[in-house]
């Protein structure tokens, strides 16, 4: 778990580290006896946020309509496509609830059939449950 401060709002975010990502710094720490800095300059020094943004801009040169902040939007979409709900998404990305939902809506996930398939499966499971006589969700006793 990493606790980070979101630069725009100052909010503190507790970010769980995925198992796959955790193996890289853990292995490097064991090998070197110290923590690994993942984003480094060409001279092997830790990259600053401004340096990362500059490097990103140079890499993205020639690609229209992309910014440094698109990486956060991409994270929102990947989490949404994985089936995460809004609270799960904005707890990691630092967006507000409305902002996270707007990003998902802006990129129109209707092209991704997985949420629709999941919705139908959920509906079918609900319909298969025994229903009470009055139509409530409580099964008959």
Q: What are the tens digits of pLDDT across the range 91-138?
A: 888 888 899 889 888 886 666 677 778 889 999 999 988 876 665 555
Q: Does position 38 have pLDDT exceeding 70, yes or no? A: no
Determine the pLDDT at residue 98.
Answer: 92
Task: Calculate the average pLDDT of the chain.
Answer: 77
**Contact (Cβ atoms closer than 8 angstroms) between residue 65 and residue 58:** no
Cα–Cα distances in angstroms (integers) from residue 79 to residues 51, 72, 84, in the given order? 27, 11, 5
Determine the pLDDT at residue 48.
Answer: 82
* Helix, strand and coil in the chain, % to nearest 5: 50, 5, 40
Domain boundaries, the chain: 1-36, 37-67, 69-129
Determine the pLDDT at residue 14.
Answer: 81
Q: Does position 83 have pLDDT exceeding 90, yes or no? A: no
**Contact (Cβ atoms closer than 8 angstroms) between residue 104 and residue 93:** no
The answer to whether the predicted template modeling score (pTM) of the entire model surpasses 0.85 is no
Portion of the chain with pLDDT greater than 90, in percent: 6
Determine the pLDDT at residue 57.
Answer: 65
């Amino acid at each position: 778990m990493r606790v980070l401060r979101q630069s725009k709002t100052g909010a503190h975010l507790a970010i769980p580290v995925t198992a796959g990502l955790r193996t890289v710094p853990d292995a490097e720490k064991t090998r070197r006896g110290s923590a690994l800095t993942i984003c480094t300059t060409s001279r092997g020094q830790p990259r600053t946020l401004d340096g990362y943004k500059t490097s990103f801009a140079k890499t993205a040169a020639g690609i229209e309509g992309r910014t440094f902040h698109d990486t956060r939007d991409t994270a929102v979409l990947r989490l949404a496509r994985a089936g995460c709900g809004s609270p799960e998404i904005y707890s990691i990305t630092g967006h507000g609830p409305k902002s996270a939902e707007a990003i998902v809506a802006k990129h129109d996930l209707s092209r991704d059939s997985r949420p629709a398939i999941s919705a139908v499966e959920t509906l079918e499971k609900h319909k298969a449950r025994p229903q009470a006589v009055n139509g409530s969700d409580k099964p008959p006793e």
